[in-house]
Amino acid sequence: MSFVKLENVGKTYGSISVLKDLNLRVDKHEVVCLIGPSGCGKSTMLRCINGLESIQAGSIFVGDLEVSSPIVDINAVRRRVGMVFQHFNLFPHMTAIENVMVAQLRVLGRDKRAARDMAFELLSRVGLSKKIDKYPEALSGGEQQRVAIARTLAMSPQALLLDEITSALDPELVGEVLEIVRELANEGMTMLLATHEMSFAREVATRVCFVAEGGIYEEGPAEKILSNPDRPKTQAFLRRLVESHRL
């Protein structure tokens, strides 16, 4: 059964059409990777699913909630599907543990003790138990991104949207963040990822979607799409990656 569903979605910015008649379904426990050149609409798609951007045509569903409905409870949507961004968006005046606690207190209404216990458990899980009282400026980029992942998991989402979560990191920090995502995939977390990490997509994705022309241009099993795609734009994109030693 599809947990995330996009039906004939259209998204424009002024006269520019970013998403056109886009259709996509993500089943529970699936890990779907979105690939494609910068500006093809991957991030916009994720932001529309999370209700951060409105659409001009079609429908988006998360479970039985229609995200695109004008009367949807957007907080209910975001309790079901969490989002981790390219730039960590941590509150600079809060420590790591406070960053993981804040939405629990304000959105879920957890009491402070329960929120702190949950935050400590999750920060320990991502390897930051000794840095819970550090402010973001005292953490590396990889550590900040791991705090952001813990903050999202604290909301107990049923699915995760991950938007190029390693692209702002130094190369040596990428692995520590991808390891957390790998663990979540192995545990059966439903995930939709926009990524340029092709080797990682090959490893964890149940399905890879190449985004072009405002929609899903080609999709299929990771090995098929990344090794032997059928359509010319997918082939050209992957050829450029090989030539630049990124695949």
**What is the tens place of the pLDDT at every residue in 99-135?**
999 999 998 899 999 999 999 999 999 999 999 999 9
pLDDT at position 1 over 80: no
pLDDT at position 182 over 80: yes
In angstroms, what is the C-alpha Rg of the chain? 18
> Residue 44's pLDDT band (boundaries 50, 70, 90)?
very high
Per residue in 49-73, pLDDT (tens digit) is: 999 999 999 999 999 999 999 999 9
Q: Output the pLDDT for position 88.
A: 85
Q: What percent of the chain has pLDDT over 90?
A: 83
- How far apart CA 164 and CA 166 sit, in angstroms, is 6
Among candidate residues 10, 7, 22, the one with its CA nearest the CA of residue 56:
10
pLDDT at position 87 over 90: no
Q: What percent of the chain has pLDDT over 70?
A: 99
Q: 122-137 b/e with 16+ CB inside 10 Å = b?
A: bbeebebeebbebbbe
Interval 131-148 mean pLDDT: 96
Mean pLDDT for all residues in the chain: 94
pLDDT at position 143 over 90: yes
Three-state secondary-structure class, residue 163? strand
Interval 17-38 mean pLDDT: 96
